[in-house]
Amino acid sequence: MPLTPFHLGYPLIAGLVARSWFSIPAAMMGSVILDLEPLFRILSGMETSHGQFHSFALAAVVGLVLGIIVWLLRKRLDSATKLFGVKQKTTAKSAFTGALFGTFSHVTLDILMHSPESGFRAFWPFSDATFFEQWAPFWMHAVSAVVLLVAVALYVIVVARENKQ
């Protein structure tokens, strides 16, 4: 997605609703980390903005590596989420499913958003199929904006509930 923050609503909802399954920091980092690729490619003047990292194959690899990092940093991340008013104990399961949910949700959302000219190939190296439609970016942004608002509202409710005496 050209505007990366639109990816953040989905992992935040997943993490708040199913906390034992999805580490919130893992899922949120996973949902935006793949956009380092277009940033790097644009800054280094490459011909297309998207490459292999925007595929399910490399999203799986990135998700696994991120899962390991989150697992290693779990104590620090648990205290960081606590600072944001949410209590969550990161387990190996939530680190990996969270990170993989993040990276896979990123590629899934991008499928309708990016034209073949941008280099986006979700099914690389198995297929060059693309599913870009002219109408899609507007609606994907609209839906993702609503999801982000719902996620923020849910976060406020959860924090208010958990932190009242």
Q: What stretch of H or E contains 148? A: helix 136-162
**Which residue number, 91 or 115, has a Cβ lying nearer to Zn ion?**
115
**Which residue number, 85 or 137, has a Cβ lying nearer to Zn ion?**
137
Task: Look at the block and give the residue holding tokens 């992992």.
Answer: 11
Letter string b/e over residues 78-109, b meaning 16 or more CB atoms within 10 A of that residue's CB = beebeeeebebebeeebbbbbbbbbbbbbbeb
**Which residue number, 42 or 92, has a Cβ lying nearer to Zn ion?**
42
- Minimum CB distance to Zn ion, residue 34 (Å): 5
Q: Are 15 and 77 in contact (CB under 8 A)?
A: no
Give the DSSP per-residue string, 41-99. Answer: HHHTT-S-S--GGGSHHHHHHHHHHHHHHHHHTHHHHHHHHHHTT------HHHHHHHH
Binding mask 48-87 for Zn ion (x = CB under 5 A): ----------------------------------------
Q: What is the DSSP letter of 120?
A: -
**Which residue number, 22 or 35, has a Cβ lying nearer to Zn ion?**
35
- Minimum CB distance to Zn ion, residue 160 (Å): 33
**Which residue number, 77 or 122, has a Cβ lying nearer to Zn ion?**
122
Binding span for Zn ion by CB under 5 A among 15-23, 28-36, 77-85, 124-132:
28-36
Site for Zn ion in 85-124 (CB under 5 A): 110
Site for Zn ion in 31-50 (CB under 5 A): 35
> What residue ranges bind Zn ion (CB under 5 A)?
35, 110
